[in-house]
Amino acid sequence: MRPLESSDTTPRAGWGALRRFLPWLWPAGEPALRARVVLAVVLVFLAKGATLLMPFAYKGAIDRMSHGITPAAGLAIALVVGYAGARFGGVLFDNLRNAIFERVGQDAARRLAETVFRHIHALSLRFHLERRTGALTKIVERGTKSIDMMLYFLLFNIAPTIIELAAVCIIFGVKFGAGLVAATLVMVVAYIAFTRLVTEWRTHLQRRMNEVDNQAIARAVDSLLNYETVKYFGAEDREAARYGQAMRAFADAAVRNETSLAWLNIGQSFITNLMMAGAMAYTVWGWSRGEFTTGDVVFVNTFLAQLFRPLDMLGWVYRTIRQGLIDMEAMFDLIDTPAEVTDAPGAADLAVTAGRVRFEDVRFGYDPEREILKGIDIDVAPGTMLAVVGPSGAGKSTLSRLLFRFYEPTAGRITIDGQDIAAVTQKSLRAAIGIVPQDSVLFNDTVGYNIGYGREGAGQAEIEAAARGAAIHAFIAGLPDGYGAMVGERGLKLSGGEKQRVAIARTLLKDPPILILDEATSALDSRTEAAIQETLRDVAAKRTSIVIAHRLSTIVDADQIVVLNEGRIVERGTHAQLLRRSGLYADMWARQQSEADEQAAQAAE
C-alpha cells in the first residue's frame, strides 16, 4: 500500500492530480448539472463584461467634469449612474452564478465522497487493521471538501482573470500603446512567477503541517477510543503529554507556514504596487504633455485596480488549488489502493442448496514468512455442527475470516455446496453466512437499530422476536427508552454479556443458512450462557454451523470436533472419541474440568 501522504517526487504529486479531478467538472449522465455549468459560465462572461464597462463610464464622467461646462453635468451624472449600474451588474451576475453553480459543486463533492467511502469498505481487512481511523477520516474529509473549491476556482477565478487580462491588454494597446501593455504583461508574469515559486516552497511546509495534524488527530482518536485502558493504567498524564507533543509539532509547523504566507503577501503587494505607481506616473506624464485626459488617468487607475483584485485573488487561488491538490493526492491514494479481495470477472451469486462447507488443503499466512494454516482439510456436512478448538494462535479464527473472504488462501480452496467461494460474489457469500464474533462491536445508535442491522427492512416484531431468542428482550424492555435506548460508542453502555446477546440477536434476525459462532458465549455468565446455548443449539440444528470454542463444555454435542495446533489438524472426531484417544483434546478437557472444580470449591467456601 502506498503511503497516504505522497511526496512531491511521485508522478501524481502537484498538478498531476488535476487530470483525476477534471471529470468531476462535467458529470456524465447529468444533463441538468451540465446545463448549470454552462449557465454559470455565461454569467461569468456577463459579470466580466459589466466589470469592463465600469472604467469607461468612470472616465467619461471625469472628462465631462474636468471641462467645467455646466450643460455637461447631466451627462456626467448619467455616466456616474451607469458606473454604479455596472458595479451592481457585476455583483448580481457573480452571485447568480454562485447560486446556480452551488448544486454542481455539492453534487460533485457528494459523488466523490460516496466513491471514496465505498472503496474504503471494499478494501481488505489487512488495510483496516493497519490504518489509523482519525488520520483516515481526516484525509477523506479534506479530499472531498477540496473538490468544491477546485470546481469554483477553476471556473470562476482563473478563467475570468485570464479573460480580463486579455481585455485589459487590448484596451491598453489601443488607447495607450504597446509600452503600457508590455509593462502590464511583465508585471503579471513576475507576479505569477513569484507566487508560484514561493507557493511551491510553502507546499512543503503545508504538507508537513498536514502530516503532523493527521498524527495529532490520530493520536487523539486512538487515545479516546482506548479511554478505559488509559484509566486502567492511570496514563492520563502520559496520554496528555503525547498529545501535547503532537500539538507542539503542529503549532511549530503552523507558525512556519503562516510566516511564509506573510512573506508571500509582502512580495505580491510590492510587485502590484510597483506596477500601479509606474502606470500612474506614465499616464500623469502623458496628461502633462496633453496626450491623455484627466479621465484617462482615472481610467488606467480603475482598470489596474480591477485587474489587481483578481490577481491578488489569483495568488490565493493558486495556493488554495495547490493545497486542494495535496489533499486530493492523499484521497486518490486511498482510491488507488487496490482491494486485496475482489470479485472474479463474471462472478455468479452463491446458490446455497444444502450448506456443505469444505476446506480443501487450505494454506494461509498473514505474512509470507509466517504461515498460519498449513494444509487444512475439513468437510462440514449439511445441517451439522463442526467445532474448532485448540490453543491460542492455532488459527481457529483465521478459518472464519477465510470463509468470509476477508483474505484469500495462499493455496487450496474453500467451497460451499461445491462452489469455490473465490468464484462467487462477495455480497452473496456474506449474505449466506452469519457470525457471532467474540468481540462484538456495536454502532453508536439504538439497541433496536443494532439488532435490526442483521436484516435490512426488518420490522419491530421481528427485531423483538430475535431479542427473545437471544434472551435479551426482557432487559431491553426494562430500559427507560426500550429499543430506542442508545448503546454508546462501540456499545460501551452495555455490559460484555449484553453486547454479546445483542450480537446474537442480530445474527438470529439475519437467519443465514451457514452460522459461525466465534466464542459466542465467552462474555456471558454461566446461567445466561446455558440459556443462550440452548437457543444456539436450536438455531444450529436447522443449518450448517461452525463453532470456534475455548470452553470445551459448550461443544460436547458437536457432530465433529477438529483440534488445531500450530496451523495443522492434529485430531478430529466426536467428544467421546477424542477423550478415548487421550491426546491434546483430552488434555485440554481435563485441565478445564480441573479449573471448573477449583472454582466450584472456592464458591462453596
For the stretch 274-320, pLDDT in tens is 888 888 788 888 777 777 777 777 778 777 777 777 777 666 777 67
Query: pLDDT tens digits for 391-402?
Result: 887 888 889 889
Which residue has better confidence, 94 or 9? 94
Q: CA-to-CA distance for 390 and 359, rounded, in angstroms?
A: 17
User: What is the pLDDT, as a whole number, of residue 560?
Assistant: 94
Q: CA-to-CA distance for 56 and 336, rounded, in angstroms?
A: 53
Which 3 state secondary structure label does DSSP give 67? coil
φ and ψ at 206, to 5 degrees? -65, -40
All three cell numbers of 515, joined, read: 452460522
What pTM did the predictor assign? 0.66
User: What is the pLDDT, as a whole number, of residue 578?
Assistant: 93
- Per the CB < 8 A criterion, the answer to whether 568 and 374 are in contact is yes
Highest mean pLDDT among 39-43, 69-73, 130-134, 520-524: 39-43
Distant-in-sequence, close-in-space partners of 514: CB < 8 Å, separation ≥ 6: 352, 355, 357, 416, 432, 433, 434, 543, 544, 545, 546
User: What is the pLDDT, as a whole number, of residue 291?
Assistant: 77
User: What is the pLDDT, as a whole number, of residue 283?
Assistant: 80
Highest mean pLDDT among 198-202, 531-535, 577-581: 577-581
Domains and CATH numbers, the chain: 14-336 (1.20.1560.10), 348-432+512-605 (3.40.50.300), 440-510 (3.40.50.300)
For residue 51, what pLDDT band results from cuts at 50, 70 and 90? confident
The overall average pLDDT reported for the chain is 81
User: What is the pLDDT, as a whole number, of residue 275?
Assistant: 83
Say whether pLDDT at 138 is over 50: yes
Say whether pLDDT at 83 is over 70: no
- Per the CB < 8 A criterion, the answer to whether 363 and 52 are in contact is no
Q: CA-to-CA distance for 202 and 224, rounded, in angstroms?
A: 33
Q: CA-to-CA distance for 99 and 41, rounded, in angstroms?
A: 12
For residue 419, what pLDDT band results from cuts at 50, 70 and 90? very high
Q: CA-to-CA distance for 366 and 414, rounded, in angstroms?
A: 17
3-state SS, one letter per residue, for 149-216 = HHHHHHHHHHHHHHHHHHHHHHHHHHHHCHHHHHHHHHHHHHHHHHHHHHHHHHHHHHHHHHHHHHHH
